[in-house]
């Protein structure tokens, strides 16, 4: 049976985002435009993925607090999560970590080092990824494990069924170019041009190695689903992954 995953799209309507995640994730993705206030009305999903965003998790935007509440409730129901960039920061924030602004953007293809296993099984220890962020997780949540980092800080963590990565493994070259060019109002043209010059087939091919983490995540989710099904059979109960409606607490602003 195909996995059913909630795609919590925080990209403010950017069409690249669902296209990229649908290409990379072998699952039935049910998309919610969370930056417009759309959230699932139940927890009947095998997992959830939180995307990148131009927002900061500490902004006082009307959609952010409800997203955090739904995410917290889903995590409490043992739903596996993958967060990318903003999603990574949001998950860290929700489960007790700290997110702060950086002194500068990290932008372009960069080298990140992982600590083995988990999402990074089969990926070179030092691997190439595309980065674009000016916020970062400065303190991990309690009980979380650091899984990846570089000279700019934390690039990955795991806490139980919750996984976060700061970089963008889902990006294709078109997205990397568009996002970089869109930073001209925030960064000098010469820096933007240097980053654009580094977006080429060779570097993109190297960065594709990180896409293995999507396969690793879905494999993990399938294993967790199988474990729940076995527990249901053993207990003689029908597990409902939190099938009750969310209720007012998740949707209220």
Known catalytic residues are 85, 168, 170
| Total Cβ atoms within 10 A of residue 53 | 27
Rounded to 10°, the helix 173-181/189-197 angle is 170
Q: What secondary structure letter does DSSP report for 159?
A: E
Structural tokens at position 248: 């007012």
Given strand 28-33, what is the order of strands in its sheet?
28-33, 4-9, 47-50, 81-84, 162-165, 153-159, 145-150, 98-114, 126-139
**Which residues lie closer than 8 Å to 17 by C-beta, 6 or more apart?**
9, 11, 51, 52, 170
């Amino acid at each position: 049976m195909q996995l059913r995953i909630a795609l919590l799209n925080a990209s403010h309507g950017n069409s690249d985002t669902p296209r990229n995640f649908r290409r990379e994730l072998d699952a039935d993705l049910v998309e919610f435009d969370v930056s417009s206030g759309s959230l699932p009305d139940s927890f009947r999903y095998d997992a959830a993925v939180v995307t990148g965003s131009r927002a900061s998790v500490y902004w006082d935007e009307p959609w952010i607090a409800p997203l955090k509440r739904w995410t917290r409730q889903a995590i409490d129901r043992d739903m596996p999560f993958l967060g990318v960039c903003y999603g990574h920061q949001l998950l860290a924030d929700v489960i007790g970590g700290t997110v702060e602004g950086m002194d500068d953007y990290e932008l372009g293809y960069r080298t990140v080092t992982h600590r083995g296993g988990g999402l990074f099984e089969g990926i070179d220890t030092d691997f190439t990824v595309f980065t674009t962020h000016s916020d970062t997780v400065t303190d991990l949540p309690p009980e979380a494990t650091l899984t990846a980092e570089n000279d700019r800080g934390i690039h990955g963590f795991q806490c139980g069924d919750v996984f976060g990565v700061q970089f963008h493994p889902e990006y294709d070259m078109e997205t990397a170019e568009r996002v970089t060019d869109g930073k001209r109002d925030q960064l000098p043209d010469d820096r933007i041009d240097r980053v654009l010059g580094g977006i080429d087939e060779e570097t993109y091919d190297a960065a594709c190695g990180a896409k293995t983490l999507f396969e690793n995540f879905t494999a993990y989710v399938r294993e967790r689903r199988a474990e729940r099904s076995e527990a249901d059979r053993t207990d003689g109960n029908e597990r409902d992954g939190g099938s009750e409606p969310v209720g007012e607490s998740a949707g209220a602003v």
